[in-house]
Amino acid sequence: MTTYAKMCYNLFGNFSRKIEKHFLDIETDLRRAKINYTLAEYISIAIFTVGITFFIETVGLAFIFTIIFRNIVAALMLSFTISSVFSIILLFLFYGYPATRAKNIEKDVNKNLPFSISYLSSIASGDVEPIFLFKTLSKFKGYGKISEEAKEIVKNVEMFGMNFTTALKKEANKTPSKKFKEILWGINTVVSSGGDLFTFLKEKSNLLMNEYRRNIKKYSDQLSLFVEIYLILIIVGSIFFIILTSVMATLSSGMEIVALQSFVVFIFLPMISIAFIVLVKGISPD
């Protein structure tokens, strides 16, 4: 626990323990997000941070507004209102942060899972110890968060003397990825029953790679459709609009038409293009 966290817990620990039963959903997200705080500690940090932020904002804004409006009552009311809004927003950010971080970890793990399991299956073909698979995987940073989860398993076994299957169960209960959880439980079952780990990993690798190829194919089809829509509506549509408004400009003063053309070319089209990029990025496979 950091010094800041200790200070927050010392101040609000008793109160946090009393209200933590109302925020049990955050406790699960804290574990899945790899945030090494207990629920009471996290609530204490949130309360202290929101409280000190509210105080600093209120005092600072009151001072500024007093200079601007030269009315201390109005300045205090306005600063209190603004600080309250920002504090509420900050409180919601604290509430949603663990779930958001867990979701990002899940996406990263799922993105690298087909390739990492394929890599593990190739190593398992050499009939090596199961812990060696995760030790090797933990050294490859290119697999992102899944390498960190493998590192946790190795650390629990080699540093804390935990049984390998127990370490697998512990990480399976912590990982936010349902797919990786199923694989960890599957490895645990195979190792415990003395089964063929290579066969299990090879089958899982084939399933994950097939799913990955289907997602890529689906994304490719969607992307082709969106590109056609973009070309028709944006490229062809903008050219037609420019030609049409240019003809209309010859029949009127032209100033309004020029302003409209400028708005479409320099503001509307770039905004549509950015929205299109965000849309394409949003539908891309993990």
- Same domain (yes/no): 217, 200: no
The helix or strand, by DSSP H or E, that contains position 257, with its residue range, turns out to be: helix 255-263
Q: Mean pLDDT throughout 80-93?
A: 93
The Cα–Cα gap between 124 and 183 comes to 14
- Same domain (yes/no): 9, 100: yes
Measuring CA to CA, how many Å separate 127 from each of 39, 185, 253? 42, 20, 83
Last residue of a domain, one of 59, 82, 104: 104
- Same domain (yes/no): 80, 7: yes
- Same domain (yes/no): 130, 171: yes
| Domain housing 199 | 107-209
Last residue of a domain, one of 69, 104, 139: 104
Both structure tokens of 216: 């890529």
Whole-number pLDDT of residue 253: 60
Which amino acid appears at position 286 of this protein?
D
The answer on pLDDT for 284 being more than 80 is no
Last residue of a domain, one of 51, 82, 104: 104
The Cα–Cα gap between 242 and 229 comes to 19
- Same domain (yes/no): 267, 238: yes
Q: Per residue in 231-246, pLDDT tens?
A: 888 888 888 878 887 7
Return the closest-CA partner of residue 50 out of 75, 26, 84, 77.
84
- Same domain (yes/no): 37, 99: yes
Report CA 187 to chain centroid distance, whole Å.
27
Number of structural domains, the chain? 3
- Same domain (yes/no): 224, 264: yes
- Same domain (yes/no): 83, 124: no
The Cα–Cα gap between 203 and 186 comes to 11
- Same domain (yes/no): 188, 202: yes
Q: Per residue in 88-135, pLDDT tens?
A: 999 999 999 999 999 999 989 998 999 999 999 988 887 788 899 999
pLDDT band at 74 (very low <50, low <70, confident <90, very high): confident
Q: Per residue in 149-199, pLDDT tens?
A: 999 999 999 998 889 999 999 999 889 999 999 999 999 999 988 888 899
Return the closest-CA partner of residue 184 out of 111, 197, 196, 144.
197
Residue for token pair 């009311």: 77
The helix or strand, by DSSP H or E, that contains position 31, with its residue range, turns out to be: helix 24-32
Whole-number pLDDT of residue 259: 76
Q: Mean pLDDT throughout 4-26?
A: 89
Q: Does the pTM exceed 0.85?
A: no
Q: Mean pLDDT throughout 203-230?
A: 88
